[in-house]
Amino acid sequence: MKLSLKSGLTREQKLEKISKLTDKELFITWIIILFGYFLFVVNWFLIDQVAGNFTYNPNAETSLTWAGWSQSFFFKNPGSITTAATNWTITFFRGIGSFLAGWFIGRLGHKKTVLTMLGLMALSFPFIVVAYPFGGNNALVLSNSQIFYQKQGDLISGGSLTKLTALGYSLFIIFRTLLAVGGTALISYTQPVIAKFSTMKTKTTLSVINSFGFNIGAAFSLGLFTYSMTIKMEAVKSWYVICAAFILIIFATFILYFIFGKETVLPKEKHTKMEPEVTIMSTLKNKNVIKMCLMYGAWLVAVVWILTGTYSNSVIGTSPYNVGGKLFWVGNTSKIAFVLGLVAGLFVIAPFGKTRYDRSRFLMTQYSLGMFFVVVAFVLGFVGANKNIGLAIGEIIASFLAGIFLWGLQGVFLLIPHEFKGASPSKVGTQFGIIWGVGYMLYTASDILLSVIVESPSFANKSYVDSINPASITAFAVYVIISMVFVLIALVLPKSGRIVNGEWVPLTDKWPFMSYNFYKGDIFK
């Protein structure tokens, strides 16, 4: 069988071929793309799970010397700002990837674009090579070789690493950004495929399943090594094997899509100009889009930052009440419960999007409830959940409840651009590229700010060992404040509406406070 991206067909023949795609062909195309996105999320969160303790010890037990990729670069923990770089560089380039998503399809068409993104993800593999010691022959990492002893007098960044390992760590991060650029756009590339299915029921079902891509990927990665310290330690020691295995799976996914993926969107014809009203610049001038950017950025801070190592290690982990705690599984289990709250949220919260009610009051209430349970989970975790089983169970339950409200609300507020007066497919597509791009940029800025706050005592040479660190409490308070910007924006959102008999009708009915009966008379007709 001859495999080629060039068919030799005319544009009209290609369009006819697309129109004749079967639901089976479309399903295979869709599931491969979604699996690629799942792999991106797994790789995003996996890197924290196999980092190790950020402290190189050449005199340690041989089997532990290379426990985690972090020991390739750091003599001692360099602090939250540096260690969080593996997270916020991913989110920064997720923003870049969101801006470029539509441009790639316009230039390359759907299939070539998806292959390009999967290819970028696979090409991130040098991050493994950069961090692997190669028996002491890699000058970019720490080792027991002569290189190590020659460079230990060349320390920088407070003695945490050398000039060469700083270069190595920089390259490690740079290559991992290819994962972000490639992986981010994949979830948006499922939509053109879903749009081609023959029935609305199928389209709706697959759109719902789409929302599980991030959450299941995060839960899988967080739960992979959580419940056995033996397995966790073996995984950390063999971090390069684990990471290489997932890169190979990404490459296999690339091959599968090359063979079985179908073209669903052709590149734009040359000399075709985008309509003036849907240009990026005109979209950025739209105040409603800016409001959605701020809302999405605040929501990202709310749901992503508490999944990071900065939160678990430098906020909850520094609590004096958790010193000596042996319930090592509590932190990741709480995170898993939080992201899996989406499952219940899809049934409890998401159906509101079908109603005729004004959106603002509902968004403000549900989001505030979600943040309330986040605070409850934080308090229970901070006062000793790693030592007390009762507090641990309470933290896990509160995290799940927070996930129901915060993750369940995603489908409601991301429906709003479709409900703006004058909305059209071309406008909404451009608007979402801006909303996702700016939103992730805002998250990245917030992540860096929170890392700086957490690290602030070290700037003043202060230590809070065995006592409450005010920087940790401050960081969490700032996190809550930034997250609650969502509520302020929801208060000033323009009216949503629906097209009825060819005319846009605003949704003005008031939501009955704390009513969740969305399956009867309140459904929009």
Tell me the per-residue pLDDT of 11-39, one tens digit each, with 9 for 90 and over: 677 777 777 778 899 999 999 999 999 99
Handedness of CA 327, 331, 332, 336 (dihedral sign): positive
- What is the identity of the amino acid at 89? T
**Residue 6 φ then ψ, to 5°:** -100, 120
Q: Sign of torsion, CA 511 512 517 523? A: negative
- Counting Cα atoms < 13 Å in the Cβ hemisphere of 278 gives 17
Q: What is the pLDDT of residue 395?
A: 97
For 248-273, how does the pLDDT look when each residue is reduced to its tens digit (9 = 90+)?
A: 999 999 999 999 998 887 776 644 44
Residue 228 Rama label (left phi>0; alpha psi -120 to 50; beta):
beta
Say if residues 177 and 111 touch (Cβ distance below 8 Å).
no
In order of start, what are the domains of the chain with their CATH numbers?
Answer: 12-272 (1.20.1250.20), 277-509 (1.20.1250.20)
Q: Please tell me whether residue 156 adopts helix, strand or coil conformation.
A: strand
CA distances from 448 to 80, 84, 396 (A): 9, 8, 27
The end-to-end CA distance of the chain, in Å, is 51
Quote the pLDDT of residue 2.
46
The answer to whether residues 260 and 189 touch, using CB atoms and an 8 Å cutoff, is no
The whole-number pLDDT of residue 58 equals 53
Which residue reads 């846009």 in tokens?
Answer: 504
**Cα–Cα distance measured from residue 39 to residue 246, given in angstroms and rounded to the nearest whole number:** 7
Q: Is 497 helix (H, G, I), strand (E, B) or coil?
A: strand
The residues of the chain scoring below 70 in pLDDT are 1-8, 11, 54-66, 102, 143-161, 200, 204, 268-280, 424-426, 429, 519-525
Residue 355: strand pairing partners: 523
Give the C-alpha separation, 187 to 179, whole Å: 13
Instruction: Determine the pLDDT at residue 57.
Output: 53
Q: What is the predicted pLDDT for the residue at 152?
A: 52
The pLDDT of residue 188 is 80
Q: Which residues pair with 506 in a beta bridge?
A: 497
Question: pLDDT value at position 148?
Answer: 52
What pLDDT, on a 0 to 100 scale, did the predictor assign at position 1?
Answer: 44
